[in-house]
Amino acid sequence: MKNESTMKILTVALGVCLVCAILVATTAVTLKPIQRQNQENDKLHNILSAAGLLQNNDADLQSLFRKHIRAEIIHLEKGIPIDPQKLDESLKADQFNIKEISKIDEYTRPLPPEDDAAQIKNVPRYMIVYNVIQRDSVTKRILPVYGKGLWSTMYGFLALGSDLRTIQALTFYEHGETPGLGGEVDNPRWKRLWIDKQAFDEEGELKIEVVKGQVNPASPKAKYQVDGLSGSTLTTRGVNNLVRFWLGKSGWGPYINYLTSAIKKGNL
């Protein structure tokens, strides 16, 4: 009798576990498209926020994006736009996924440790840029950036003004940093500190940096500096490293040089 009772308990427990597993699996599969759509909407929200185009939370993100954003694929090493007709399907703007591209050897190149300040190991050969179009002119260029923080890889967007020197926004759409500490990268007050900071000096040398503590407004370097995140030294360092990496020679540097030269020649 005792053995039969134990068997019944085990059978019931296994049955409950099986039912729960089926319910969890079904829920996960059912919710996956919704989660993907929410992630895509959050990404669009951050692109449009970096573009300065969001006036209210009820905005039609898709319509705003189609009206004001023109995406194009850049050959990162050469710094030049690629003809969409010459791109593989996964590299086309409407399909481009940084996470997926960064996993494909064909589309990436390894970084030597001394050049890998962002700690991403491999850098994509191709990247997407979002041009903000207003009155038929490109007013901002939104550059995807990513790199290691304390606990996670942080994915975001850095917006440069038409002069290619002035930062208009920095925003992150995905990260796993500690709420209240490194998670303050989402704090609107901190994000506002980036607006109108200079990424480069007049000679084109990269100058932007996130400092430990607060920027001294009397310092001649103040226009190139942003306050660090209080109580989060490693996340602060991660943001500094990823921003400087992506604006440097291994990131968007060649593209910025290409645009600067084209503007000087009157080709843009």
Mean pLDDT of all residues belonging to the chain = 89
Alpha helices in the chain (DSSP H): 2-51, 61-68, 98-101, 188-192, 233-246, 253-264
Q: Which pTM was predicted?
A: 0.85
pLDDT interval class at 265 (50, 70, 90): confident
pLDDT tens, residue by residue, 92-119: 998 899 999 999 999 999 999 999 999 9
Residues 6+ apart with CB under 8 A from 66: none
Phi, psi for 103 (deg, rounded to 5): -95, -5
Note the pLDDT of residue 1: 47
172 close to 152: Cβ distance less than 8 angstroms? no
**DSSP string over 231-245:** T-HHHHHHHHHHHHH
| Half-sphere exposure for 115 (CA within 13 Å, toward CB) | 13
- Residues 27/20, Cβ–Cβ less than 8 Å: no
